[in-house]
Structure formats: structure tokens, C-alpha cells
Structure 1
């Protein structure tokens, strides 16, 4: 019985195969052509960099199929004339039509794609300000990313950076002004040398200004966030840099110190300003007795020596003319700085803030500001909306010089952040607690907009209002603390608000939430290919086996 079944199966198989050598050769050539066509289509659809090879493979596959059919054209014609042949042709036409419709739908969808970011933090969406920058580009911008394939540092940035650059390219599709490419510096060392790339990973942005002068700007890890790339594009397209002057001569923090472990250095903050497309210089007001007309803002980081009367008056007159000031102080700051801001409706409150409700690592004198403690009303929301956490290692508080109902209309002063209700001011450095009757909400940072100082006439030549941002702590922007939590973002956002570069303040790193599946573009293509081809092929094989058994 077993022998009879084996003979029956052999007979069925013999009927499927050609009975002569010519037919066998034709079948082998046709099958090879089909395999080449299948492989070529996969390469063409899922490996864009191999499309030339894919097209060659597809053409070769079609030629092999035609050759195979030509060799056995008589047998094929005889098969078509038969009733079974006509049914097979009808089925083949229906399958081909179905595949063609699917391909057309895919092509139409690919050319008219709609991108939807379903992440809670809009992780893969660009800020509207970034999109506006891309759409307003006048000259092409090319980003050349130098990543070493087997380097662990490069690998840690590769996925997120490639996704971000791809989103930039997609958002500039209307004018096609932004393109990018990845380069292995080991394979193309000459290109890296010509672009003066010495560190990896790095991204070089190349463009032109309005006069046609070639410009370039280089980003190195870890500065690969949306904000960094937006700034690099602005610099490479020749957008004019605003000048920031860091005041010196009063024991301020040293902006030349770059050591990340240094607790007094201000170098990382200075570099942060430069990365925001500012031209940053130091300024000794006592030496020059003038504040340059091109000053977009003055920065005074942690002064420990009093201002002279001449210096204080120069800064005051600069503010009256519509100037901008970013002042960070510490407990024990000389009184001349308090006198300066008193004229603009703000005063420093003596003592160090203790916050029992929210502090860093059980250090009550280091208030931890949580997201709900940021003030998000206009105009402060430009500074605080993107932020989640900052901390101040030893800070004083600010308040208005007059009760709220007595403040003049021409001065608007608002807290930027506030402590919890379990806060107080403490004068004794040894005490880290508060009495219950001392609890109150305090403001370690404030922002001021004013048309003129209190009880003074406005400057007739002023073309804009004065703006001041105050921080009761300078340690939080020292090198040691600058890139912790959102400390750097708060400080740079404040500077952006002062200089009215709100587009940069709105382009901030987004909080990355935990996800179970993070894949590269190649992995996505592999998953897509398996779902489109492997699973249907498996189902076809199973269907063929079932048909074979039931014949």
C-alpha cells in the first residue's frame, strides 16, 4: 500500500515536470529569472542605496523569464489552448491585477505620505519654529555626518541623530533646501580633513549667506538635539549673530574655564550661548566706560565686588534705552546690585531659601523646582513651557519693591519659578529647617518688562522696553551643574527671551519616555519586508502543500 502511494506521488510529480531536456532547461531558466526578479524587487523597495543593482537584477530576471518562455514557446502555446491553461491565465491575470493595484496604492501613499507622531512627548515632531526656519531657507544646506560604524560612541548617537536629520529633510521637502549624508571617516579621510573634522561623531553643516559666501558650522557630540541642529542651520545660512557681553571686573564667574567638574567655571554657559548663534564677548565697563550699541544683552554671572557709581549709571542708562540684562547673584551679593534692580521694581530678600517640600537629595538649601512650579503665564511661558526640572544650590529670593496693587502699570514683574509652600528664608548656615510660622512661597527667579524705571522719565530715544531676568543663584549654571536636569535650558531660554529669539527658546530637547521597541530605518524595512513577502510566501507554500495532498 505504501509502495502504491509512493508510485502515485512520483507520477504526479512527473506530470508537473517537463518530459524532455529542453523543457527542463526552460523551467530552470524561468525559475532563476523569477528568483532574480523577486530579489531585485526587494532590494529596490527596501534598500534605496542599492537601487542601481536592483534595477539590473530586475532586468536580468525579466530577460531570463523571456528566454525560458522562448525556449519552450510551443509547449506554452499548447498549454494555453487547453481549458486548464485558460483558467490558469485568468487566475494569473487576476493575481497580477491585484498585485498591481497594491503597488499603485503603495506608490500613491509613499508620494503623499502623512506623518503622525503618536508619542506622548511629541518625540519625533519638530517645533513650529524649526519648520519655519527650514521653509525660509534661501540657499541649500548640506549636513555631512561623520560617524565611525564600529565606534560605541558613534553608535549611541546614530539612531536618534539619523531620525532627527530625516525629519529635518522631510520638513524641508517643499523647497528641498536641506539634505544630509553619512560618511565613514575611515573610508573617506580626505573629506574629513578638508572639512576640518577632528572629532567623531561630528556633523558639518554647509551653506551660503545672502551674498553667496560659503559658510560652514560643525557640531560634535553630544550637541545633536533639535535646537543644536536648528542653530547650526541658521549659522550656515548666514543669519546675523546678536552680540552678548559678559561683564567682567567684579569677581564674576570665569567664562574661560571649560572643565566640566569645575564648580565656579562659566565656560559651558558661554559655549551654550555660542551654540545658540550668539557672538559672545567679555566687557569691562570700568575700563571702557561705555556699553556698546550692538549689545543685545548684558550678562553678569555671580558678581562679588560692588559696581562703581559710573558703572551702575551706565547699566541703568543702557536699560532705560531698551537694554537687556541677565543677572545671577548669590547670597551675600554686594548691595549695589540690589540698588540697581530696585529702580526697576525688584528687590533682593536677604537669607538663603530652604524648601522642605521639594529639594535635591535631601538638601533643603537646594530647592528642586518641579514642572508644576514653573510659571507658565504670558510672557514667562516662552521661558518655562518646555522645562520639567531645575535646581538651585543655595539661592536667595526676589520680590517686588511695592505691593502688587501699587506697582505702576509701566512695569511688569513676574516670578519665573516658585518654591513649594513649605519654604522659608534662613540666615544661619547651620540651620536646614523652618519654623511652621515661616512657611511661604518664594521666588528664586524673576523677569521684568518695563517702559521706564520707577519715578523717572522714560528715555525719549528708546525704541523698545527694557527687560531683566534675575536668578538668586549662580551655582546652577556653573560647569558642574550646567547640563544637569533643565538648568542649561532655563538659563539659555531666559537669554533667548531677553534677545527676543523666542524661536530658539521653543526648540528644546524633549523628554524621552521608555519604549519597548526602538528600531533603525533598516530594521523597519526588514520588518516591512518580512510582513509583505515572507508571510505571504509561507502562506503560499502551505496552500500548495494542502492542494498537493488533496489532489
Structure 2
């Protein structure tokens, strides 16, 4: 049997072209040059080269014909069009622009992530141990890599790179490892908040401790009820803080490893020795967040006076009616005006609200030490009610204070080579599980902790969760919807059609 060498090498050329194209498609999908991809690309290229060399005379003869020349012109024009499209695609890839039309900007990186990632000084490597690519993780990592050259991402097949899988203790497909230096963490869920928090954990040199004072009926960190603070504890731990509780009577001092001391809505008074302990801690350059609710005498006035802060014996009423949009009444003042401070930076045109709050302001504005910023101001249609009886509230000239009312302050003062910091807010309910995820309430609380702990790089807008927009209808509303949409509207159209037909008849 005689073999036609020209046809043989032509077939080899076709096979080589198919292998090159298939190898490139596999590489573009997997974004990893695996052994299989290398074999397909190199083998296909070699077969193409062999086919061209041994068929060179036939190729030259083909292109010398008139029809071939016309075909070549067409081919050149086609290649030119493809090149233009490829260049446009390349420019779009290098200078891509996405538009996120969701209300919560769910598909845009948060300000907090941008600040953390763009300020990285250490190399961080994210590895997905799997055979197939996770499209969501790949897209997310593309955005992170755009922010910092210190971020890298790799898809690793644990069956091909067994030594790497053993090095990081990988035991199953799909595990995601984040490593920096000699620190390694695992990610259980692919989302921005989880990834950013894990990057924080592997790049932070030390862990700061936030102590919550207990023993006076404060909000409970362990409570997952609507009135609890379990969300506060979880988010602080996610941001790489160690969270503990302290009973000052038992310890007889503020713990030495305390980075921030939190007093979260006491319902009972502090003992004088406890007040003295907190004052001594602040005088030594300590940091504290104190949240006090109306109608509670916490006996912390000595601390407030020492810091030129006045906590009013009142309840702030907001008669603007804006709160009704969110299902709240006049006893829940809404704040849209903020002081110029790191805690409330970029809060413009956003809202926070405070269920039953009292006023907190600068006691003597003529004093420059400590430096005080009034963070939260209510509307001009609010007032500080001094005699709230039952459900009724009425502004009384001479007794009540007309708005805007300050609900919180941030103060700082130099003590030797240290800087003591204090944040006082006239409400603790704004950070309970029920309200901490609403509007900017959570950002206000956690930004306060970040500022007090001198972690200004963490102060930003945090990633948001999708808003639940389900509509719940009562039985009567469902019946009304049924009759209106399935009976009255179609009936009206039918009746108008019958009327027009009758008139024309």
C-alpha cells in the first residue's frame, strides 16, 4: 500500500492545529499551565512545524495561484478585523469598567477592603486546592490583585502537587488557603468579607484585646437574641480582635492587655472604686467606649467631667417624621449630620438611628483640651425632653433643649508620649443584633472600636449583605390583589371591548 506523503503531512498539520487550539482553550479556562496543557501546546506546535516543513513546496505552489492570491487578500482582511477586535478586547481587559447597580453595591469591593488590600506591605498568597476553577473566587481575586501587587492567586491540583497539599495540610478538594510569611488560615466561604478578614489575620503582627465590662446589666455578648450583642462579638473577632469580658470588682483593675474598654449600656450604677479604675486607665493613655442609655444613672459623671463631656438627663425626641419611613417613632432619633472625624468619615448622605437616646455634648466649648468632636447631630425638628411621661412628648420652652442635639462625642488628649481616647454615645441599643445591620449603625460602632484601638486603616464602609425585599401580605391584602389583578382589571378591559363593539354595531 502506497502512502501519499503530502496527505499524511496535511493530516498531521490539522491534528497539530487542533491540539494547539484545544491546549490554549484549556489554559484560558483553567488559568494554569498544567502538564496536560503543556503537552497539547508543545506537541501541537511540533506537529504544525513538521507539516509546514515537509509540505513547504505545496504551500508555496498554492499561494502562487491567482485564486489563492484573492483568497489571501480576503484572509488578510479577515485577520485585520480579528486583530482590531482582539486589540479592543485587550484594551477592555486592561482598562475594564463595571457598573454595579445594586442598592447595597454587592458587586463592588467595599471601602474597607480597598483600604486594607491597597495598604498591604506583605505578600499574601491565596490557593484553591481543586481540579476545577471557582469562577466566583477567580473574579474576586482579579479585583484584589488590581488593588495590590502583594496579592497572588493560584489554582492547585492536590493530586498533581501532592507535596504542596501536604505542606498546607489539605485533606479534601475545594479547600482555600490564605498564607503570608509563616502564618496560614483557611477560608470556609467564598465572599469578600471572609477573604478580607482572613488577609487581616495573616498579615497583622499582633492581636489587640477588647474588654467588655460586665456586672451592671450591660448588653450580653453571648446573647443571640434581638437585644443581644453576639453580632458585635462575631464581627470584632472577624476583624482579628480578641474579645473578653471583665468584672472590675473581681480584677480590681483594668487588665494590662486591654486595648479598648467598652461599657455597653449599664442598667445599674458603678461603684466608686470601679469609676476610679476606669479613670486611672484613661489617665494612663487608655481607650474606652462608653454607651449610656436614658433614665440610667451609671455614676460615671466623674469620668465625663474630667473629659469635659456633658451627658444629659433627658430623652431625645425626633418629630421630623423621617423615622416613620423605617418603622420607628419620634423616640428613635435619626441622624444624617455628622462631625468631621475619622469615625464618621464618608458618612455623608447616610443614616444612623438610635432607639431611645440621650444627649451627649461638649460641656465647655471654650476649652481646647481634650480635643472633642461632636459626632452625631439630630435634625432641627428634634429636642431633648427632660420630663418624658408615658407616650406623650411636647417641647417646653425653658425646660427642653431645641435641636439639633448631639448624641455622641469622640475625645482625645495627650498624656506624656501616649494619647488617651474616649468615645461616649447616649445609646447602646443602636448596636444590638436587631439594629446593628441597619444603615450605618454597625459602621459607627466598629469604626469607634477601630479608632480607639488606633487601627485607622480599618475605618471604612464594611461589606453589605443583600437586603431582604420580600413582600409579606396579609390574607385580606392577598384577596384584594387577587380581585384587582385577576377580576377587576381584566373585567374592565372586557367591558370596554363589549361597549366599543356595541357602539360600532
TM-score over 0.5 (shorter chain): yes
TM-superposed CA distance for 1:493, in Å, is: 0.2
Name the counterpart of 1:168. 144
Between the aligned partners of 1:125 and 1:335, the Cα distance in structure 2 is 38
TM-superposed CA distance for 1:397, in Å, is: 1.2
TM-superposed CA distance for 1:410, in Å, is: 1.3
Name the counterpart of 1:130. 116
Mapping for residues 278-293 of structure 1, pairs under 5 Å: 278-293=241-256
TM-superposed CA distance for 1:275, in Å, is: 1.9
Cα distance change of structure 1 residues 218 and 97 upon mapping to structure 2, 3 Å threshold: closer
TM-superposed CA distance for 1:232, in Å, is: 2.3
Mapping for residues 524-535 of structure 1, pairs under 5 Å: none
Name the counterpart of 2:338. 374
SS of corresponding position for 1:264 = coil
Name the counterpart of 1:392. 354
TM-superposed CA distance for 1:497, in Å, is: 0.9
Cα distance change of structure 1 residues 146 and 374 upon mapping to structure 2, 3 Å threshold: farther
Instruction: Choose the corresponding residue for 1:205, options 168, 178, 196.
Output: 178
Name the counterpart of 1:141. 124
TM-superposed CA distance for 1:327, in Å, is: 0.6
Mapping for residues 449-488 of structure 1, pairs under 5 Å: 449-451=412-414, 462-488=416-442
Between the aligned partners of 2:53 and 2:152, the Cα distance in structure 1 is 49
TM-superposed CA distance for 1:297, in Å, is: 1.7
What's the TM-score once normalised by structure 1's chain length? 0.67
SS of corresponding position for 1:281 = strand
Cα distance change of structure 1 residues 203 and 342 upon mapping to structure 2, 3 Å threshold: farther
Between the aligned partners of 2:115 and 2:177, the Cα distance in structure 1 is 22
Q: Which stretch shifts more, 39-48 or 113-122?
A: 113-122
TM-superposed CA distance for 1:178, in Å, is: 3.9
Mapping for residues 67-466 of structure 1, pairs under 5 Å: 75-82=58-65, 84-85=67-68, 87=69, 91=73, 94=76, 98=80, 113-114=94-95, 123-124=108-109, 129-134=115-120, 136-137=121-122, 140-144=123-127, 159=136, 162-173=138-149, 176=150, 178-179=152-153, 181=155, 204-208=177-181, 214-220=182-188, 224-225=191-192, 229-257=195-223, 259=224, 262-357=225-320, 358-359=322-323, 360-369=326-335, 372-375=336-339, 377=340, 380-385=341-346, 388-402=350-364, 404=365, 407-426=366-385, 427-428=387-388, 430-431=390-391, 433-435=393-395, 439-451=402-414, 462-466=416-420
Structure 2 regions of 5+ residues with no counterpart? 468-505
Between the aligned partners of 1:147 and 1:36, the Cα distance in structure 2 is 24
Cα distance change of structure 1 residues 474 and 467 upon mapping to structure 2, 3 Å threshold: same
Name the counterpart of 1:519. none
Between the aligned partners of 2:129 and 2:391, the Cα distance in structure 1 is 53
Q: Which stretch shifts more, 91-100 or 462-471?
A: 91-100
Structure 1 regions of 5+ residues with no counterpart? 1-19, 150-154, 209-213, 452-458, 514-551
Name the counterpart of 2:482. none
Count matched residues.
449
Does the CA contact (< 8 Å) of 2:117 and 2:147 recur in 1? yes
TM-superposed CA distance for 1:95, in Å, is: 6.2
Between the aligned partners of 1:40 and 1:220, the Cα distance in structure 2 is 32
Cα distance change of structure 1 residues 216 and 24 upon mapping to structure 2, 3 Å threshold: closer
Residues 366-420 of structure 1: CA deviation (Å, up to 9, x unaligned): 2233xx4222x2xx14434257332212111112223x3xx31212222211111
Name the counterpart of 2:496. none
Does the CA contact (< 8 Å) of 2:213 and 2:246 recur in 1? yes
Between the aligned partners of 1:32 and 1:91, the Cα distance in structure 2 is 26
SS of corresponding position for 1:273 = helix
Does the CA contact (< 8 Å) of 1:384 and 1:416 recur in 2? no
SS of corresponding position for 1:298 = strand
Q: CA RMSD in A?
A: 4.5
Does the CA contact (< 8 Å) of 2:334 and 2:379 recur in 1? no
Between the aligned partners of 1:204 and 1:70, the Cα distance in structure 2 is 48
Q: Which stretch shifts more, 162-171 or 297-306?
A: 162-171
SS of corresponding position for 1:334 = coil
Between the aligned partners of 2:427 and 2:156, the Cα distance in structure 1 is 42
Between the aligned partners of 1:235 and 1:131, the Cα distance in structure 2 is 13
SS of corresponding position for 1:445 = strand
Between the aligned partners of 2:299 and 2:264, the Cα distance in structure 1 is 15
TM-superposed CA distance for 1:172, in Å, is: 3.5
What's the TM-score once normalised by structure 2's chain length? 0.72
TM-superposed CA distance for 1:269, in Å, is: 1.1
SS of corresponding position for 1:503 = helix
Does the CA contact (< 8 Å) of 1:424 and 1:440 recur in 2? yes
Q: Which stretch shifts more, 494-503 or 69-78?
A: 69-78
Does the CA contact (< 8 Å) of 1:413 and 1:449 recur in 2? yes
Cα distance change of structure 1 residues 219 and 268 upon mapping to structure 2, 3 Å threshold: farther
